[in-house]
Structure 1
Amino acid sequence: MVNQTMEALQFNSKTQTLSLVTEKVPSVKENEVLVKVAYSGVCGTDLHIVEGSFPCTDQPVILGHEFSGTVTAVGSKVTNVKVGDKVAVDPNSGCNTCGPCSGGQYHYCSTGGINSTIGIYCNGGWAQYCTAPDTQVYKLPDNIALEQGALTEPISCLSHGWDRVQPIPVGSSILITGAGIIGNLWACLLHVQGHRKVTISEPLEDRRKIAEKLGTGFQVVSPAELKKQKEKDPEFGFDVAIECSGNGRAMEDALWMLNCGGKLCVFGVASPDTRVSVSPYHLYKQEITIIAVNINPFSFPKALGFIDSMGTRYLEYEKLGIKTFPLKQHKEALEELKKGSIAKAIFKVEH
């Protein structure tokens, strides 16, 4: 691969521009793996980065932190994967020396975690090739296709959220706010775990239609319809609310929808400038628990287990509202995602 070139989508935070560029295919160091990218997702965080409302490196960087592909080269000390393996890449790691890392909580690391993410602080998977440390590369089981492998990172975040919000007894009433890809994946995860009393709230009609096609039988409503239901019956509410939109108003509304002893899981990533108004008296009176979720510490293996259990019954792209685009159609991909006509955009990387 030495001296060969590749196409990539590079973001410049100083000019706030995303451009299709030609770069050299990166070479591998002794503990690195070179991945020929197959599928690379567009995350809501990526939209925030491109619009300038979420921090990233101040140097030009190739975005993309959700991707799968095939190993094409390995460093001299790499033993966990080999050339030809199908893999997914965990973009997050820690420094392995600080207190949080030593305690198994690298997502709190001041230099690692979200502060060193592949595709945010160093070159990522919106490219034909990407390198990653061997410790962050996971071989996909034979029964998991590269399409589903590209969902490993977001599902690994769900896995961490799943652990954080437990217990959720089967029979609990659950609200999901936001029917983008994260809300849809939460719906699928809850369904495969046996939950049936789930309501999905989404303001955009196109996304409500996608959520209805998931085949879960869950109630799908607009926030206005949900509000009317609460006004009509003050006793109407939920035991758990999983906020997937990153919208401050949605978080506030979800809090007021909770039953006594309810839990709010703040899962969607909001802009750093978003603020939420909370009544401490209401929290006290209802004994509400608020749980936040930060990335995916050590949850990639669990995510692969979830993908195995969900399979194509839940993780088929069209059913989830996922549309694929080549890298050269990045403007169309981001625009459709912003409009909400699709739940997620994924780059199907051509070679």
Structure 2
Amino acid sequence: MEFLSFNVSSKSLTLKKRDALPKPATNEVRIKVAYSGICGTDLHILEGSFPCKEDGPLILGHEFVGTIDEVGSEVTVFKIGQRVAVDPNNGCNKCDHCHNANYHYCAYGGINNTIGIFKDGGWATHALVPETQIYLIPDEIEMHQAVLTEPLSCMAHGWDRINPVNVGNKVLIMGAGIIGLLWACLLHLHGLRKTVTISEPQQKRRELASNLDLDYKVKNPTELKEEFDLAVDCCGNAPAMEKAMSFLGHGGRLCVFGVANPKAKLSIEPFQVYKKELSIIGVIVNPYSFCKGLALVQAMSEQYLNYNKLGIKIFSLSQYKEALDALKKGDISKAVFKL
């Protein structure tokens, strides 16, 4: 087994090999990983600005798909050979939050127990996953597209949080990294056309956004002047969110989807919130929306999930330094490991 080991104390990655494959517990399956994505959250973990497992080695990677190659003795639904996508999040199923279908608020689950952040994940040839956290991939979905299910499932939750979003609404997307590009595609899928603006300071990323051919306006943040009904933050940058608040019209909403540094601060003018009836909406992970994420992959695959247009590049696990470097430089929008 080949895997990337993250040393929590030194914030360093090392490619390692293990002779014996891990054995699944009674309620787990072992997945032979096909594709595993690098998320912006992973970059924050590597730089030490996002919480993760506090001690010992960790295999990162919370966006991955593959084929089941061994099952635990109590696994009844899934079989060896099936293609599956992994939902890295769950809940304790005991607390009030879980009982109210809000496991993403759970102190012991949600973002506090994510596979690839607090438990070993998919930056490896094989991974162990509870049976309750895997989903069959429909035959018509390609595996390299299915690896986008996890981010799209988070966006499906975000879509539910910000609705209604009507055709004709003026929408500002802040950031043209992979999440901003996928949000642009999602809005286009739902019928929004010429009323969407993508704001991005980096020239390379503005070119990627333009290459999507969605007929959206792509601007440097310094060029923004008009009012918007909705602003979707996809960069986690507090100054950008502050600026976006000033562009919101009456009844406007700011959706905080990007992951900001936990120490970042946002200043707002309460009088403007009162006067304009503004709203700030947070979105965290993907509670019970993984099926919706798979459905989005199926609906978007042919027209929207083209790796070349989205700026996604495939790397081998041994090329992890090149992958991380390309992401940090902004040469690509996303890196995906092919195992």
Q: Normalising by the residue count of structure 2, what TM-score does the alignment of the two structures yield?
A: 0.98
Report the count of equivalent residues. 336
How far the C-alpha of 1:312 sits from its partner, in A, is 2.3
- Distance in 2 between residues matched to 1:307 and 1:122, nearest whole Å: 26
2:232 is matched with: 242
Deviation at 1:325, TM superposition (A): 0.8
State the Cα distance separating 1:33 from its structure 2 match: 0.9
**How far apart are 1:169 and its partner, in Å?**
1.1
Structure 2 residue 5 is the aligned partner of structure 1 residue 10: yes
Partner of 2:199: 201
Task: Render the CA deviation track for 1:296-318: whole Å, top value 9, x for unaligned.
Answer: 00100011111111112101111
SS at match of 2:167: coil
Question: Matches of residues 137-176 of structure 1 in structure 2 within 5 Å?
Answer: 137-176=134-173
Asked if 1:20 is matched to 2:15, the reply is yes
Q: What is residue 252 of structure 2 aligned with on the other side?
A: 262
- Residue 223 of structure 1, aligned match among 212, 221, 224: 221
Q: How does 1:48-59 map to 2 (within 5 A)?
A: 48-58=44-54, 59=56
Residue 290 (1) aligns with residue 280 (2): yes
Deviation (angstroms), 1:273 = 1.2
Q: Does 1:79 align with 2:69?
A: no
Q: CA deviation at 1:271?
A: 1.2
> What is the distance in 2 between the residues matched to 1:340 and 1:222?
16
SS in 2 for 1:333: helix
1:54 deviates by 0.6
- Give the drift of 1:80: 2.5
Instruction: Report the equivalent of 2:295.
Output: 305
SS in 2 for 1:19: strand
User: In the aligned structure 2, how far is the partner of 1:11 from the partner of 1:249?
Assistant: 31
How much has 1:218 moved relative to structure 2?
0.7
Q: 1:88 aligns with which of 85, 90, 98?
A: 85
In structure 2, C-alpha distance between the alignment counterparts of 1:328 and 1:274, rounded to whole Å: 34
Q: How far has the Cα of 1:281 moved from its partner?
A: 1.2
Report matched runs for 1:53-68 at 5 Å: 53-58=49-54, 59-68=56-65
Measure the CA separation in 2 of the matches of 1:27 and 1:254.
49
Query: Which digits, 9 at most, give the CA deviation of each residue in 1:301-345, with x for residues without a partner?
Result: 011111111112101111111011111111111111111111111
CA distance in 2, matches of 1:331, 1:272: 26
What is the aligned counterpart of 2:41 among 36, 42, 45? 45
CA distance, structure 2, for counterparts of residue 80 and residue 213 of structure 1: 42
Aligned partner of 2:189: which letter? V
SS in 2 for 1:210: helix
How far the C-alpha of 1:79 sits from its partner, in A, is: 2.5
Cα distance in structure 1, aligned partners of 2:306 and 2:34: 16
Match of 2:27 among 20, 24, 31: 31
State the secondary structure of the residue aligned to 2:230. strand
Which residue of 310, 333, 341 maps to 2:331?
341
The letter for the 2-side match of 1:13 is V
In 2, Cα distance between equivalents of 1:203 and 1:134? 42
- Secondary structure (helix, strand or coil) at the match of 2:244 reads helix
**Residues 133-192 of structure 1: CA deviation (Å, up to 9, x unaligned):** 001000000111111110000000000000000001111010000011100110111101
Identity in percent: 56
Where in structure 1 do 4 or more consecutive aligned residues deviate above 4 Å? none
Q: 1:275 deviation in Å?
A: 1.1
SS in 1 for 2:313: strand
SS in 2 for 1:11: strand
RMSD over aligned Cα atoms: 0.9
Residue in 2 that maps onto 1:3: none
Report the residue type matching 2:31 in the other structure.
V
The runs of 5 or more residues in structure 1 that have no matched partner are 1-5, 231-235
What is the distance in 2 between the residues matched to 1:215 and 1:77? 49
Structure 2 unmatched runs, 5+ = none
Q: Which amino acid aligns with 2:48?
A: G
